[in-house]
Amino acid sequence: MEEEQANRDELQRLLAKANNEAAMWRHKFESGEGGVRPEEVDELKRKFNARIAELEAQLEAALAKASSLEKVKNRLQGEMDDLMVEVDKVGYQSTIQFCIGVVFHTYVRPLQSF
């Protein structure tokens, strides 16, 4: 019991000391003795808020640009797919024309010379 009472007294002493120290720092801050005047704090807040707004604007611009680039990428991918279909068609047509030419030169042309 006595040990608990001693611990309680010590904690109350530390709490009172902390409260006094907090009151002292509050007084120094409000009076400007703490090294930073309230006006300076307000100025720093204003500067930080301006910087945050600037960075948010840059982020929004970057996101808009990324969205725009994604749209362009999708459009170009569609065009590429269309071109690949055309290439396949041309390739098939070329193969067919080549085969027709071979058949013509191999079988039809010799018959025309008779």
pTM over 0.75: no
The burial of 34, by beta-carbon neighbours within 10 Å (0-12 exposed, 13-18 middle, 19 or more buried), is given as: middle
Q: Where are the domains of the chain?
A: 1-35
Could you report the per-residue pLDDT of 10-33, keeping only the tens digit for each? 888 888 888 888 888 788 777 766
- Assess contact for 19 and 28: CB atoms under 8 A: no
**CA neighbor of 11 nearest in space, from 19, 107, 30:** 19
| 86 vs 7 pLDDT, higher one | 86
- The whole-number average pLDDT for the span 99-109 is 76
